[in-house]
């Protein structure tokens, strides 16, 4: 007989075997589950790998296409810049064909109804016949100009003939626009407008030129411009800074630069951002300018006024251009005997006439393409050399 205790002792190994089998089955199921998950992860990894290679190929294709597009854009930009450059060169060649030196004649209206005109005939070819109205048969003379403007011509019509030159300034060319004539002939009116004011609708060449200059500089987004202004006068062959607070003691020396041109290193140079900035400086300069009464004009300008606009440009390619625009209101030319000048006024008239004569000599030499141009004969021609020659 086996006791109950002995039976329990004999069944203990079987219980251990059953527990061990159950644990093994659990481990096996866990391993199978992990293996299944690994297979899924492997499949997902393969899919991600394929997607990555596809994206990599697409990215490389996009980079290649972008490179081609950039190359095309670069070629187009280069072609555009070249076309712009050629256009500007052709434009300025056209200006040279029209004449580097152009002389216009503006006929001032008669001062009153009793005045007698000395103009006998104006031709369509730029010729004009003048004479002494009291001796018409013996004093006739014919002069030739590029163009003649009648007494009814407006300020705007005058400016249109010089407007193309402003673009040349922005392209790196030096330009000079000056008014020459007898005292009282309307030079200051043409250059500065009535009384040099800003409120008039009849503004002069100076303001319209400056307005166009800033308009062009703003429209050219590929070029950054730095614009600065100087304003001086030549009075009795002395150069004075009209933008200095103390004009009486500010006499300037003209110096020769390394390129053979003349400049005024000590003249005040004012940066400007708009036409109104320049006009404010011009009004200051006009206030400081020397003037005095003569028999020909109650307030005759006794000096040459030179407003110089310096334009420095730099495009996106790093190319730099430097140019200047001289806007000149010359002192009135007059015969000493008719002006009734004496003392200081006589001295002024002599200096004025001498410098104007030197200017005429320079322009004649340039027109005749002489090998020697007498720039050094006066301070006026020295300062204007860069834009005359």
Q: What are phi and psi of 129, to 5 degrees?
A: -110, 125
Strands 119-122, 127-130: pairing is: antiparallel
Token pair 């299944």 in the structure block, residue: 36
How do the domains of the chain map onto residue ranges?
Answer: 12-98, 103-153, 155-388
The packing angle between helices 343-367 and 379-388, to 10°, is: 30
What tokens were used for 122?
């104006």
Q: Are 291 and 301 in contact (CB under 8 A)?
A: yes
- Please state the pTM of the whole predicted model: 0.73
Of 108, 210, 194, 204, the residue nearest 152 (C-alpha): 108
Token pair 């690994």 in the structure block, residue: 38
Q: Output the 3-class SS for 74-127.
A: HHHHHHHHHHHHHHHHHHHHHHHHHCCCCCEEECCCCCCCCCCCCEEEECCCCE
What span, in angstroms and rounded, lies between the C-alpha atoms of 26 and 32? 10
Q: Which burial class, exposed, middle or buried, applies to 277 when counting CB atoms under 10 A from its CB (0-12, 13-18, 19+)?
A: middle
Q: Are 104 and 149 in contact (CB under 8 A)?
A: yes
Buried b (16+ CB within 10 A) or exposed e, 349-386: bebbeebbebbebbbebeeeeeeebebebbbbbbbbbb
H or E segment at 133?
Answer: none
What span, in angstroms and rounded, lies between the C-alpha atoms of 389 and 81? 29
What span, in angstroms and rounded, lies between the C-alpha atoms of 324 and 309? 5
182 is in an annotated binding site: yes
Per-residue pLDDT of the chain (389 residues; tens, 9 = 90+): 445 555 555 555 566 666 677 777 788 888 888 888 888 888 888 888 888 888 888 888 888 888 887 877 776 666 656 666 666 666 666 666 666 788 999 999 888 776 788 888 899 899 999 988 888 777 789 999 999 999 999 999 999 988 888 888 988 889 999 999 888 888 888 988 876 455 556 788 988 999 999 999 998 888 899 999 999 999 988 999 999 877 666 688 888 877 767 888 888 999 999 988 988 888 888 888 765 555 444 445 678 999 999 999 998 888 888 999 999 999 887 766 665 666 777 888 888 989 999 999 999 998 888 999 999 999 999 999 988 87
Q: What are phi and psi of 355, to 5 degrees?
A: -70, -35
* CA dihedral (86, 88, 94, 95) positive or negative: negative
Buried b (16+ CB within 10 A) or exposed e, 286-299: bebbbeeebebbee
What span, in angstroms and rounded, lies between the C-alpha atoms of 304 and 354? 12
> CB-side exposure of 76: number of CA atoms within 13 Å?
6
185 is in an annotated binding site: yes
Of 291, 304, 286, 306, the residue nearest 345 (C-alpha): 291
Q: Are 356 and 182 in contact (CB under 8 A)?
A: no
Q: Does the domain formed by 155-388 have CATH 3.40.850.10?
A: yes
43 is in an annotated binding site: no
Q: Output the 3-class SS for 35-81.
A: HHHHHHHHHHHHHHHHHHHHHHHHHHHHHHHHHHHHHHHHHHHHHHH
301 is in an annotated binding site: no
pLDDT of 18: 66
Of 350, 352, 377, the residue nearest 362 (C-alpha): 377
What span, in angstroms and rounded, lies between the C-alpha atoms of 244 and 269? 10
181 is in an annotated binding site: yes
79 is in an annotated binding site: no
């Amino acid at each position: 007989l086996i006791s109950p205790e002995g039976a329990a002792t004999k069944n203990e190994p079987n219980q251990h075997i059953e527990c061990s089998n159950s644990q093994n089955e659990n481990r096996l199921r866990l391993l199978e589950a992990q293996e299944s998950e690994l297979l899924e992860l492997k499949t997902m990894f393969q899919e991600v790998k394929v997607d990555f290679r596809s994206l990599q190929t697409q990215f490389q294709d996009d980079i290649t296409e972008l490179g081609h597009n950039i190359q095309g854009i670069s070629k187009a930009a280069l072609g555009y810049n070249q076309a712009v450059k050629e256009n500007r060169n052709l434009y300025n060649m056209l200006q040279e064909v029209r004449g580097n030196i152009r002389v216009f004649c503006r006929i001032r209206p008669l001062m009153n109804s009793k005045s007698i005109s000395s103009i006998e005939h104006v031709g369509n070819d730029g010729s004009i016949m003048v004479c002494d109205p009291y001796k018409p048969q013996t004093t006739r003379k014919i002069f030739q100009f590029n163009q003649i403007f009648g007494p009814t011509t407006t300020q705007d019509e005058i400016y249109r003939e010089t407007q193309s030159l402003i673009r040349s300034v922005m392209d790196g060319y030096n330009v000079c626009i000056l008014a020459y004539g007898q005292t009282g002939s309307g030079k200051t009116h043409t250059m500065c407008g009535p009384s040099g004011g800003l409120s008039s609708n009849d503004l002069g060449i100076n303001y319209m030129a400056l307005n166009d200059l800033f308009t062009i500089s703003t429209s050219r987004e590929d070029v950054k411009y730095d614009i600065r202004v100087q304003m001086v006068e030549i009075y009795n062959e002395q150069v004075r800074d009209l933008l200095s607070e103390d004009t009486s003691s500010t006499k300037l020396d003209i110096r020769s630069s390394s390129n053979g041109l003349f400049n005024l290193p000590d003249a005040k140079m004012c940066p400007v951002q708009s036409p109104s900035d320049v006009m404010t400086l011009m009004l200051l300069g006009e206030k400081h300018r020397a003037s005095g009464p003569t028999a020909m004009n109650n307030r005759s300008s006794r000096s040459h006024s030179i407003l110089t606009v310096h334009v420095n440009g730099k495009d996106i390619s790093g190319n730099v251009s430097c140019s200047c625009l001289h806007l000149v209101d010359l002192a009135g030319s007059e015969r000493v005997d008719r002006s009734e000048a004496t003392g200081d006024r006589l001295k002024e008239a002599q200096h004025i006439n001498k410098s104007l004569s030197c200017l005429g000599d320079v322009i004649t030499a340039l027109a005749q393409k002489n090998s020697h141009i007498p720039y050094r004969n006066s301070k006026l021609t020295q300062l204007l050399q860069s834009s005359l020659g």
